[in-house]
Amino acid sequence: MPSTRTRPLLALLGAAAASLALLAPVSPSATAAEREPLRYVALGDSYSAASGVLPLDPTAPPACLRSTRNYPHVLAGQIEADFTDVSCGAADTTHFATSQYPGVAPQLDALDRDVDLVTMTIGGNDSGVFIGAIQACGTAGLSTLGTGSPCKDEHGNEFVRTIRRVTYPSLVEALTAVTRAAPNAKVGILSYPWIMPRSEGCYPQMPIAEGDVAYLRRLQRVLNDAVARAAEATGVTYVGLNRLSDGHDACQPVGDRWVEPVLLGTNPVIVHPNAMGERKMANAARRQLGLR
């Protein structure tokens, strides 16, 4: 048994040992685990692929027109992720489970239980409804030299009905498949940034008739709402861009717009996000998904 003289010394030695234990370096295995990057897979269509923004991704199928400056690449760099990008221009929800082009695997094939993060834009190409509406309204606007509301007069609620009856359930099905294929991942779906302003357009830069500007804007709002509702129904995070992209539509000048117009734009793929728009989308996804 220690004497009364040695007890204080033993206590000091014990305290010193405890202090040294606290100061001891973390084991290499623990440090490696802390630094292990997130496994991130990007799915989606041309708004995810940044079709038209150069340079092209040399690892992508040429038909996908995927850019190395798309929002997934930007986001992956920000969070230093272990990154796989299978986004592809013109994709719709069916291309999650089926091949879009010969030799191009279904996008869901990139997912498994070890994936930590998934992002996408999808739905705008389904049934050709959104892209089809832009083309139809552009053609109609040219026919009247930008006057009247020829697109609304011809199509009425046709596009809105398609989004609600066809696109929305397709989104739910696609997002459900994603969460099943990557059950441990945080999944985010971005809305589409505004293409048209609230009221006054910019004919002929965007060849939409004056009376169809609000019509097309409402259609996009319905599409983004369908994306938001599908996300809520499937437990997916909705990255909303309605507020953030307001005032950055295709009618705005260079340096302000996130989406390029039909005429006098900087991208060969018209009515798609430019590099700045993709950066802003990446920032929104990082913030709203709580990524560091």
Average pLDDT, the chain: 91
Residue 292 binned pLDDT confidence (cut-offs 50, 70, 90): confident
Is the pLDDT reported for residue 53 higher than 80? yes
Structure tokens belonging to residue 75: 């986001």
Kindly name the residue from 73, 95, 155, 272 that is annotated as catalytic. 272
Is 272 known to be catalytic? yes
60 inside domain: yes
276 inside domain: yes
Least confident range of 70-84, 124-138, 174-188: 124-138
CA 24 vs CA 17, 18, 72: distances in Å: 10, 10, 39
Residue 244 binned pLDDT confidence (cut-offs 50, 70, 90): very high
173 inside domain: yes
Quick: pLDDT tens for 198-209: 989 999 999 999
Q: Which residue has the higher pLDDT, 131 or 46?
A: 46
Torsion of CA 211, 216, 217, 223, to 10 degrees: 160
DSSP assignment of 201-268: --TTTS---GGGHHHHHHHHHHHHHHHHHHHHHHTPEEE--HHHHTT-STTSPTTT-SB--SSS-S-S
89 inside domain: yes
Residue 131 binned pLDDT confidence (cut-offs 50, 70, 90): confident
Determine the average pLDDT of the residues in 41-55.
98
Quick: pLDDT tens for 254-289: 999 999 999 999 999 999 999 999 999 999 999 999
Give Cβ neighbours of residue 219 (< 8 Å, ≥ 6 apart).
130, 133, 159, 160, 163
- 3-class secondary-structure state, position 120: strand
1 inside domain: no
260 inside domain: yes
Specify the CATH number for the domain of residue 245.
3.40.50.1110
Torsion of CA 161, 231, 63, 206, to 10 degrees: 50
Residue 50 φ/ψ region, left for φ over 0, alpha for ψ in the -120 to 50 degree band, beta for the rest: left
DSSP assignment of 124-163: TTGGGHHHHHHHHHHHHHHHTTT-S-HHHHHHTTHHHHHI
Is 46 known to be catalytic? yes
Quick: pLDDT tens for 202-237: 999 999 999 999 999 999 999 999 999 999 999 999
Q: What are phi and psi of 152, to 5 degrees?
A: -60, -40
Measured between alpha carbons, how far apart are the two ends of the chain, in Å?
A: 55
Sign of the torsion angle spanned by Cα atoms 258, 264, 265, 270: positive
Kindly name the residue from 3, 19, 46, 170 that is annotated as catalytic. 46
188 inside domain: yes
In angstroms, the CA 285 to CA 190 distance is: 7
Domain count, the chain: 1
User: Considering the entire predicted model, what is its pTM?
Assistant: 0.88
Q: Which residue has the higher pLDDT, 3 or 110?
A: 110
pLDDT of residue 1: 47
Range of the domain at 118: 36-127+167-194+224-288
